[in-house]
Chains A and B, each alone.
Chain A
Amino acid sequence: MLKIEDLHVYYGGIHALKGITLEVPENKIVTLVGANGAGKSTTLRAISGLVPVARGKITFRGEEITRTKTAEIVKKGITLVPEGRRIFANLTVLENLNMGAYARTDKEEIKRDIQRIYEMFPRLKEREWQAAGTLSGGEQQMLAVGRALMSRPALLMMDEPSLGLAPLLVKEVFRIIKDIYSKGMTILLIEQNATAALQVADYGYVLETGNIVLQGPGKELAANDEVKRAYLGKA
């Protein structure tokens, strides 16, 4: 569904992505793991059109989307859940969800989708009229995911959804990811929690300083000694 070929991104003089090639097939969970600064977030941001691509090609459903504007990419069906629960703190939960549907114009369908999100996350329904900034960390993450789903993406990209959450909530987040996936969503996931990510993922890529160093089915990677030593903290 999504294909990236030889993607290069620079931040000023820093060569952040040094030719990444990867593929996200339809109805799969693909994960990128790697240490801080390996280029995981940059990859997602480049796909979303939030950082300029220096070289390479990104195609989505056979259509090239390299250097397309973010708004267009969202309309085409790729939505990013940004790192660190970036919700709109002063808007209510409902307004946040409505912002997720910003690129859409079908009002009736938007209302129905909001109901669907509330069914998926009943806590959000309870807090419908509350300012999003007053939600707990876990609820904010649910809201960020719910908001991203409001754009009706075909491909959902999640940047560290479990960051800064209590262990119990991390489990909850992965339950949600599996739940969304079982409803037919394609997911590209970035996680520091590599164990959990590789457990749910169909396929995984290991990034190191802007290069892909390893790839394979999620469970295989989780069992790989090198990955274990470098990212999972096991000897």
Chain B
Amino acid sequence: MDRQKIKTFLTLGLVLLSCLVLFWGEQYLGKFSTRVLNLAAIFVILGASMNLVLGFTGMFSLGHAGFMCVGAYVSAILTMSPESKEMIYFMEPIISPLDKIHWPVFPAILTAGLVAAFFGFLIGFPALRLRDDYLAIATLGFGEIIRIIVTNTISITNGSLGLKNIPPIKSLWVYWGFAIATIWILKQLINSSWGYAFKAIRDNEIAAEAMGIDIFKHKLMSFTIGAFFAGLAGALMGHLITSVDPTMFRFLFTFQILLIIVLGGLGSLTGSVIAGVLVTVMMEVLRFVEQPMNLFGLQIPGIPGMRMVIFALLLLVVILFYRQGLMGTREFNWDWVLDKVGVGRRKEKGVGVDG
């Protein structure tokens, strides 16, 4: 059988398998495990989208939490019922017409992404004229500005009290559906001529410009798309934990995503997926280190935040000894698997695009 056909079958098989796993998970997994897995899906979306900006386009942007914040609030305000809005906004009533709006969840999540993308576009326009550390500082600042605006526009966002009673979504299908769709879209994007332009800009801006690539346009596009998916993830986050408040989206959150993409490999979607799941699951598993424990007769009281120390150490080790992360810039592909199991490779002849 020809290799291309085998690959198509394998891909279909994988899709079927993931459907089965999701089906099984829906049926038999407990509430807690489902929640952790849903959170993992959100972190996969966040990791992949931030990787598009950092790993593939090479823009050191740290505003991801800000775009998440926009997405979370947009979707929450659009989907909450008018009654609960009336109850929650007791400091200052919500302005019209937002008080009457009661959208279904899916269009609200997509709108959240679009609004976040719009913010990304607005912020990217001035900020992307900077690069490297300066861009990092500017985007970090913008991220914080978004959060502070949200805290202070009380008649829209209910300020620091946050929002509660956001319609919950519990199904694994929704979160992983969005995660898989995100990965698929980003994969298509990265393998398109735009994607190659992103990578060329990352590798060498001057050469890319000399080849006739419009640097600013492509950077803005990558940044806006990254913000779109961050908004999507933020919206999902709101529906997962059913409440949002501005402190959730402090810039420390961005560093958690940064940890995922550095761990997985800057410039590898596969890496972001693996690390996204790994970090989220570890976050839960490692909760025991915050319990009081008895270490060789030494009584250690519970220290909240110990988990983060472990992640910080992990990040240090990765940066010092294993710079490229789990995957480097490599991606999972069937050719690699087929080579491993020894299915003969058709000799590449002439010029082709790696499929």
Which of B33-41, B165-173, B201-209, B304-312 interfaces with chain A?
B201-209
Q: Mark B119-146, 1 if CB is under 8 A from A, else 0.
A: 0000000000000000000000000000
State which residues 190-211 of B face A: CB under 8 Å: 193, 196-197, 199-200, 202-204, 206-211
Interface check A69, CB cutoff 8 A: yes
Q: Which of B193, B196, B211, B267 contacts A74 (CB 8 A)?
A: B211
* Inter-chain contact B199/A91, CB cutoff 8 Å: yes
Q: Which of B206, B208, B329 contacts A90 (CB 8 A)?
A: B329
Interface check A87, CB cutoff 8 A: yes
Interface check A79, CB cutoff 8 A: yes
Give the docked Cα–Cα distance between A95 and B192 (Å). Answer: 12
Q: Mark A66-104, 1 if CB is under 8 A from B, else 0.
A: 000111111100011110001111111011001110110
* Inter-chain contact A102/B197, CB cutoff 8 Å: yes
State which residues 297-345 of B face A: CB under 8 Å: 329
Interface check B351, CB cutoff 8 A: yes
Interface check B214, CB cutoff 8 A: yes
Among A71, A72, A100, A114, residue most surrounded by chain B Cβ atoms (within 10 Å): A71
Cβ contacts under 8 Å, A71 to chain B: 212-214
- With A86-B204, A88-B199, A102-B197: A94-B209 Cβ-Cβ less than 8 Å: no
Give the docked Cα–Cα distance between A144 and B210 (Å). Answer: 11
State which residues 8-35 of A face B: CB under 8 Å: none
Number of A residues near B (Cβ < 8 Å) is 35
Interface check A115, CB cutoff 8 A: yes
CB-nearest residue of chain B relative to A100?
A: B211
* Inter-chain contact A87/B207, CB cutoff 8 Å: yes
CB-nearest residue of chain A relative to B211?
A: A102
Cβ contacts under 8 Å, B30 to chain A: none
* Inter-chain contact B351/A111, CB cutoff 8 Å: yes
Interface check B350, CB cutoff 8 A: yes
Give the docked Cα–Cα distance between A151 and B208 (Å). Answer: 13
Give the docked Cα–Cα distance between A98 and B211 (Å). Answer: 10
* Inter-chain contact B209/A99, CB cutoff 8 Å: no
CB-nearest residue of chain B relative to A111?
A: B351
CB-nearest residue of chain A relative to B328?
A: A90
Number of B residues near A (Cβ < 8 Å) is 23
CB-nearest residue of chain B relative to A71?
A: B212
* Inter-chain contact A102/B213, CB cutoff 8 Å: yes
* Inter-chain contact A86/B197, CB cutoff 8 Å: no
Give the docked Cα–Cα distance between A210 and B206 (Å). Answer: 22
What is the minimal beta-carbon distance from A223 to any residue of chain B, in angstroms?
34
Cβ contacts under 8 Å, A162 to chain B: none
Cβ contacts under 8 Å, A90 to chain B: 199, 202-203, 267, 329
Cβ contacts under 8 Å, A89 to chain B: 203-204
- With A102-B193, A115-B350: A80-B200 Cβ-Cβ less than 8 Å: no
Interface check A230, CB cutoff 8 A: no
State which residues 100-139 of A face B: CB under 8 Å: 100, 102-103, 111, 114-115, 129
State which residues 35-66 of A face B: CB under 8 Å: 48, 50
CB-nearest residue of chain B relative to A75?
A: B212
Cβ contacts under 8 Å, B202 to chain A: 90
* Inter-chain contact A50/B209, CB cutoff 8 Å: yes
What is the minimal beta-carbon distance from B17 to any residue of chain A, in angstroms?
30
- With A102-B193, A115-B350: A88-B210 Cβ-Cβ less than 8 Å: no
* Inter-chain contact A86/B207, CB cutoff 8 Å: yes
Cβ contacts under 8 Å, B196 to chain A: 91, 95, 98-99, 102
Give the docked Cα–Cα distance between A86 and B201 (Å). Answer: 11
Give the docked Cα–Cα distance between A86 and B329 (Å). Answer: 20
State which residues 78-119 of B face A: CB under 8 Å: none
Cβ contacts under 8 Å, B267 to chain A: 90
Give the docked Cα–Cα distance between A81 and B207 (Å). Answer: 8
- With A87-B204, A91-B200, A95-B196: A151-B212 Cβ-Cβ less than 8 Å: yes
Give the docked Cα–Cα distance between A144 and B329 (Å). Answer: 22
What is the minimal beta-carbon distance from B324 to any residue of chain A, in angstroms?
11
User: Would you give 15 A-B contacts (Cβ < 8 Å), ordered by A?
Assistant: A70-B210, A71-B212, A74-B212, A82-B207, A82-B210, A86-B204, A88-B199, A90-B329, A94-B351, A95-B196, A98-B196, A99-B197, A103-B211, A115-B350, A151-B211
Among B193, B207, B214, B350, residue most surrounded by chain A Cβ atoms (within 10 Å): B207
* Inter-chain contact B351/A147, CB cutoff 8 Å: no
What is the minimal beta-carbon distance from A203 to any residue of chain B, in angstroms?
24
Cβ contacts under 8 Å, A144 to chain B: 207
CB-nearest residue of chain B relative to A159?
A: B210
Give the docked Cα–Cα distance between A72 and B212 (Å). Answer: 7
Among B199, B203, B208, B350, residue most surrounded by chain A Cβ atoms (within 10 Å): B203
Cβ contacts under 8 Å, A75 to chain B: 212
CB-nearest residue of chain A relative to B207?
A: A86
CB-nearest residue of chain A relative to B217?
A: A71
